[in-house]
Chains A and B, each alone.
Chain A
Amino acid sequence: MKSLLSLLSTALLLLACSQTPQPSLYQQLGEEAGITAITDQLLYRIEHDPLIVNHFRDTDIPRFRHLLIEQLCELSGGPCVYSGATMEESHTGLNLNTRDFDRLVNHLISAMQQQGIPYGTQNQLLALLAPMYPEVIGR
């Protein structure tokens, strides 16, 4: 058992060390073009999800798209400044619940998957977005 544990920790160390000096998350996401493609994929999936599309009935989609690209760009360390409202303000009236949030996360994962974003990079972005959960839900 002990040897198996040490084998596992060695494997984890190797995994950690195999990472060479990293480009920024913004670069890993494909910069402006990559983030735009991910956003468009995400919007396409929201549009085709009957369980959440209704929440966005009154949303100005071109503006939403622009702000989302801007936000993902800023969040990932890109040369943008998010010009939209706070998360609380921008989700007021959308009345999103946990199920909607779960579905949005899955749509974002699928969008990144489709763009060929590696798993570790996907998790870096999700780790930045997940803490917004309490600001987005039930507003």
Chain B
Amino acid sequence: MNKTVIWLLLALLALPVHAASRVLATGGATTIEGSAGGGIVPWAVINGYGSNEEWSLQAFGSWVGVDDFTLHSTGIGLSVDNRWELSYARQQFKLDSIGGQLRQDIVGVKYRLAGQLLYTNLPQISLGLHYKRHLDFELPSLVGARSRSGVDAYVAASKVWLDAIAGRNLLLNGTIRATQANQTGLLGFGNTENQRHQLMFEGSAALLLTHHLAVGVEFKQKPNRLAFADEQHWRDLFVAWFVNPNLSVTAAYVDLGSIAGLPSQQGWYLALEGSW
């Protein structure tokens, strides 16, 4: 592991520059899972503003407060060549009215297959993986989850249409995710019968009102495979402020549906991201 880290750092130093050549806002924000995207949907964009032959480091923290739960996510990421994105996130899900907490770690990798978000007719298309490992599996296991860890695989397509609506640029993103996760993994993976992957659709639309400000909506289809309580789709409505290439702030209104038998979980999301 240490050797890998050293080789990685040496490889980074070998790249000629560390600069942020890409256009502001093209790195998106960072999702609660640590990947570049909106707040809950990973996009095809690579985090930060590094172009080819450049790299960037990210750090993010986000907070979601809904009626009966609070979710803290913190993490770091590394982007190389506007091609690869590596990320790590730790989630802490507090069961405010039930009591207790559930934590999971998420290691992510994303690879840009084709396209340039702003320049090509072809959308930017990326493949991604999330390896998730639960740290407090007793409760998920009690409610029927089969496994403490799981892997999500996704393909995402993102494109910006310049001058789309009243001179503003429009971003659309569609993501297909194969997942075993219950409530994105916070309630473990699979059910008592199996832990086969299921295909889910996730989508985002965002309008850039200025160079620095975007508003948008997101939808995340969710599986519903634990018998003890219904799991529902997630939605949010967000405003992202790209202060400069080093800092962004995202706020959202979120509707997470029913979680663990507690219905209509709605509330607010706030995220800070730094990129260097």
Contacts and interface: CB of A to CB of B under 8 A. Distances in A.
Contact of B217 (A5, A97, A119): A5
Interface string A111-139: 00000001111011011001101100000
A99 interface: yes
Chain B interface main SS type: loop
B215 interface: yes
Interface string A92-113: 0000011101110110010000
Given A5-B217, A103-B21, A133-B119, A98 B166 contact: no
B166 A120 contact: yes
Interface in B114-148: 116, 118-121
A59 interface: no
Interface string A1-20: 10011001000100110110
A103 B169 CA distance: 19
Contacts of B53: 97, 99
Interface residues on B, range: 20 to 34
B274 to A, nearest CB: 20
B116 A119 contact: no
A19 B54 CA distance: 40
A51 interface: yes
Contacts, number: 80
B124 to A, nearest CB: 12
A16 to B, nearest CB: 5
A130 B54 contact: no
Contacts of B17: 51
Given A1-B255, A5-B237, A12 B21 contact: no
A12 B165 contact: yes
Contacts of A15: 165-166, 168
B235 interface: yes
Contacts of B253: 4
Contact of B120 (A4, A51, A102, A134): A134
Given A1-B235, A102-B51, A120-B167, 5 more contacts: A8-B237, A102-B23, A103-B51, A119-B210, A123-B168
- Of all A-B residue pairs in the complex, the 7 with the closest CB atoms, nearest first, are A120-B167, A133-B119, A127-B162, A99-B51, A127-B163, A123-B163, A102-B21
13 contacts: A51-B19, A98-B82, A99-B21, A99-B54, A101-B119, A109-B211, A119-B210, A120-B163, A124-B163, A130-B118, A133-B119, A134-B119, A134-B120
